[in-house]
Structure 1
Amino acid sequence: MQAAVFGENLHRLQQLLNEVRAEDLHLVPRGPAAVPGAGCSRAGAGAGAVPPVSYMHICETESFSMGVFLLRSGACIPLHDHPGMNGMLKVLYGSLRIACLDPLPPAAPPGARRRALLRSRQLCTPASPPCLLSPHTDNLHQIDAVDGPAAFLDILAPPYDPENGRDCHYYRLLEASAGPAADPHALPREVWLVETPQAADFWCGGEPYPGPKVSP
């Protein structure tokens, strides 16, 4: 019964989120200024540096968090996870390339290699349906802004909470676990990951949310 109710509520939330547009949140697409060294390898943060990614906090409760991420042209949110969390991502403007992975057992200690399944690598625009993640499917992903700045609405349930085991971990893609004859572009496919600290050249700034108030 609970699974059925969850499925119904999830479907309804997907429908509602699919209707959200940038103008509904009073967002105007940014200019084309690019991140130096576009991609996930960028110059580090310096004095007065503009962050490659900014976050607009909308609201947060014990059950969920909601906000908007803004990526400059060429910016990348590195491969990371969402332990024990469900999530939705809806592109508001621009284009995002999103790579989604699932960890494969057994679990590995920090710094050790672990197997994962690279499930998809897709280009998402405001016309795309919301991207979904669950505790077990598409829980790891990397997000790249493509051909200009981009923004997306992000909902996580429950929100990050390090004290309750829901902390963000970052990973680096190493190599395919299959033999040399395997097609490196075929999906889904197994890959190797290693957990890493948050990169010194990635940081997220904060900006005020200009849209309508959301009451949880």
Structure 2
Amino acid sequence: MTEVDVGVRQNMPYFKIGIFLLPPSGVLPLHNHPQMTVFSKLLFGTMHIKAYDWVDDVTSSSTPKADSSEREGHEKGTISVRLAKLKVNSEFTAPCNTSILYPTDGGNMHCFTASTSCAVLDVLGPPYCDPEGRHCQYYRTHPFANFSAEDKQLPDDEKITEYAWLEEIDKPAGLSVVGALYNGPKIVEK
């Protein structure tokens, strides 16, 4: 067996590391990491994290039950939404445990809101890659009550507030993520 047989090559990037610096009240909007595993570590500061996982076998009529302020900027009619369950809705202060986001579990769609100046170290594997279907998507949330679920009834004991409909949107205007190459000491295998 060779590297070609398993779809890897020597120069293939297996992961990417990023550090996100947010000022007080700074927001990294609701986004995802498709087909990726992400290790996140809050390095300093305090931030609120709200994260969702998809509910796989539920679709929507995609027609809002009623017009609402959530629908600003939309024409009347249908929009494409998908049901997600709230996984995390908490404030974290460094030092705290590292979180792990898996492709389908752990809060893969998430939003960071800085309570104080803060920094988050992310290790993404494999990294974003548009040709391979791993591109960042952004979402707008809609309350569960705004749409009806066609394929599945939620269990009676579930809290409706733990669910939201997510609508894919364009990258939010004004969002700027600036990348830079690592220029520190060389990382070598031992």
TM-score by length of 1: 0.61
Q: Of the candidates 141, 154, 172, which is equivalent to residue 199 of structure 1?
A: 172
Alpha carbons of structure 1 residues 61 and 123: separation in structure 2 relative to 1, 3 Å:
farther
Q: Of the candidates 44, 68, 74, which is equivalent to residue 93 of structure 1?
A: 44
**Do the aligned partners of 2:143 and 2:164 also contact (CA within 8 Å) in 1?**
yes
Displacement of 1:113 after TM fit?
A: 1.3
Displacement of 1:105 after TM fit?
A: 2.4
More helix by share: 1
Aligned to 1:74: 25
1:62-83 deviation per Cα after TM superposition (whole angstroms, max 9, x unaligned): 2111121111111100000111
Aligned to 2:143: 175
Q: Of the candidates 189, 200, 203, which is equivalent to residue 162 of structure 2?
A: 189
Alpha carbons of structure 1 residues 93 and 210: separation in structure 2 relative to 1, 3 Å:
farther
Aligned to 2:132: 164
The structure whose RCO (Cα within 8 Å, separation 6+) is larger is 2
**Do the aligned partners of 1:78 and 1:170 also contact (CA within 8 Å) in 2?**
yes
After superposition, where does 1:1-216 map in structure 2 within 5 Å? 62-106=13-57, 111-137=79-105, 138-146=107-115, 148-177=116-145, 189-206=162-179, 211-215=184-188
Displacement of 1:130 after TM fit?
A: 0.4
- Looking at structure 2, the residues matched to 141 and 76 of structure 1 have their Cα atoms a distance apart, in angstroms, of 11
1:53-99 deviation per Cα after TM superposition (whole angstroms, max 9, x unaligned): xxxxxxx9521111211111111000001111001110111111111
- Looking at structure 2, the residues matched to 99 and 68 of structure 1 have their Cα atoms a distance apart, in angstroms, of 19
**Do the aligned partners of 2:40 and 2:100 also contact (CA within 8 Å) in 1?**
yes
Displacement of 1:187 after TM fit?
A: 8.8
Moved >2 Å (runs of 4+): 105-109, 176-179, 205-216
Unaligned runs of 5+ residues in structure 1 are 1-59, 180-185
Alpha carbons of structure 1 residues 66 and 98: separation in structure 2 relative to 1, 3 Å:
same
- Looking at structure 1, the residues matched to 185 and 93 of structure 2 have their Cα atoms a distance apart, in angstroms, of 23
Percent of pairs with identical residues = 32
Displacement of 1:107 after TM fit?
A: 7.8
**Alpha carbon RMSD of aligned pairs, Å?**
2.8
Unaligned runs of 5+ residues in structure 2 are 1-10, 63-78, 148-158
**Do the aligned partners of 2:144 and 2:161 also contact (CA within 8 Å) in 1?**
no
